[in-house]
């Protein structure tokens, strides 16, 4: 009898303990609110997050068929910048513009942008335009750099047109240039998908065969040497200061649209250095004939059948023969615009896009990094 009472007592005590634990757990779950902060994991971040120096940022989907041409294109992806910024934001990011690039002022969204140098110690980033840096760095910030602050090296000129300054190594934390392997890439232009509200593409009326607008003339430039040979085999309409025939913006747009081909000749050959000389004629319905980095590099930016590369021909004479052939074969000529069924050209805004994407980057990342050998990376 005593044994049965003792067993019952133990069971009752255990039941009371379990009841107390359950009550405490219920109160805990009722009032406890876990503070988890998940960053988005489903958004493609190639256009914002840093790439290893030496590898281009590319889009994962590169194949589409247009007309009779199957175009393989591994292209720069810019479509998710705004989505990424809205998905995860660090507030109160202050960016100091050390110099307005070429005096051009602008504003951005999502961060505070200032040129007030008295706010240096509060700035999360300082954007420094390479063109303004003197060789001795005497016009750079002299106060100690706050631990949280990042210096952003900003340059849109090619290595051939940028002064190499040895003391830049181990000085900057981030790079923003036209190169796709920059920490914050801002190419001169890019392609974006056509949207339902966009007007369909119509080929402009053409009354000129080949055109070229150029101001910076140097007989040592590869583009000048190539032009001097090419003009012996095909008629070229020439404009710009180099030919004492300047154009205003309206005249320029009208001219480019009226040409079947435009000589998109860069002043130097450098990786990813593909400027408005390409994107302007693409926007205006003209086939660009390009001279610059290799074809494969152009195809990092635009579809392979949207342009003609001088390197595809053994001589300027052979190129001229191809252009004359296309002039007489309209179906083949118009195939160079098949990409317009899927894409449209977007131009980057100098300075403003660099600051905006720097803002986006800083809202996403606060980790510390240093560009150890800027000169080797950029100038090689």
Residues known to be catalytic: 157
CA end-to-end distance (rounded Å), the chain: 95
Kind plus residue range of the DSSP H or E element containing 72? strand 69-72
Q: Which two tokens stand for residue 106?
A: 């602008």
Name residues whose C-beta falls within 8 Å of residue 195's C-beta, 6 or more positions apart in sequence: none
Kind plus residue range of the DSSP H or E element containing 18? helix 2-31
Q: Over 86-152, what HEC string results? A: HHCCCCCCEEEECCCHHHCCCCCCCCEEECCHHHHHHCCEEEEEHHHCCCCCCCCCCCCCCCCCEEE
Q: Which two tokens stand for residue 13?
A: 């005590």
Q: Which two tokens stand for residue 361?
A: 């980057």
CA atoms within 13 A on the CB side of 221: 18
Concatenating the DSSP letter of every residue in 215-265 gives ----TTSHHHHHHHHHTTTS--EEEBGGGTB---HHHHHHHHHHEEEEEEE
What is the rounded (10 degree) CA torsion for 319, 325, 329, 335?
-10
Distance CA 174, CA 50 (A): 9
Number of helices (H) and strands (E), helices first, in the chain?
10, 14
Q: Which two tokens stand for residue 11?
A: 């069971």
- 10 Å CB burial of residue 344 (0-12, 13-18, 19+) is middle
| Bridge partners for 97 per DSSP | 127
Cβ 358 vs Cβ 95: under 8 Å = yes
């Amino acid at each position: 009898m005593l044994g049965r009472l003792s067993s019952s007592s133990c069971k009752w005590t255990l039941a009371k303990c379990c009841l107390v634990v359950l009550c405490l757990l219920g109160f805990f779950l009722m009032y406890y609110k876990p503070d988890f902060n998940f960053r988005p994991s489903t958004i493609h971040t190639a256009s914002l997050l840093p790439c290893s120096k030496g590898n281009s940022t590319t889009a994962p989907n590169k194949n589409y068929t247009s007309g009779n041409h199957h175009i393989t294109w591994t292209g720069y992806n810019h479509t998710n910048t705004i989505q990424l910024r809205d998905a995860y934001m660090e507030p109160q990011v202050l960016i100091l513009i050390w110099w307005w690039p070429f005096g051009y002022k602008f504003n951005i969204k999502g961060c505070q942008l200032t040129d007030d140098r008295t706010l240096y110690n509060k700035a999360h980033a300082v954007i420094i335009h390479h063109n303004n840096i003197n060789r001795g760095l005497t016009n750079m910030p002299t106060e100690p750099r706050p631990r949280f602050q990042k210096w952003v090296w900003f340059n849109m000129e090619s290595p051939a047109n940028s002064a190499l300054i040895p003391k830049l190594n181990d000085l900057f934390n981030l790079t923003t240039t036209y190169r796709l392997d920059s920490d914050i890439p801002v190419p001169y232009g890019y392609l974006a998908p056509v949207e339902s509200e966009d007007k369909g593409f119509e080929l402009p009326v053409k009354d000129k065969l080949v055109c070229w607008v150029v101001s910076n003339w140097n007989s040592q430039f590869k583009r000048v040497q190539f032009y001097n040979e090419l003009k012996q085999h095909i008629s070229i309409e020439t404009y710009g200061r180099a030919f004492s025939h300047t154009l205003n913006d309206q005249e320029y747009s009208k001219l480019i649209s009226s040409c079947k081909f435009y000589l998109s000749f860069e002043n130097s050959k450098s990786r990813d250095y593909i400027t408005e000389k390409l994107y302007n004629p693409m926007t205006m319905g003209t086939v660009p004939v390009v001279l610059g980095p290799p074809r494969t590099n152009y195809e990092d930016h635009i579809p392979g059948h949207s342009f003609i590369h001088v390197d595809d021909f053994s001589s300027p004479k052979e190129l001229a023969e191809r252009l004359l052939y296309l002039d007489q074969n309209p179906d083949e000529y118009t195939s160079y615009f098949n990409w317009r069924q899927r894409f449209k050209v977007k131009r980057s805004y100098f300075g403003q896009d660099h600051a905006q994407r720097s803002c986006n980057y800083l809202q996403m990342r606060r980790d510390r990094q240093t560009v150890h050998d800027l000169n080797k990376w950029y100038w090689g």
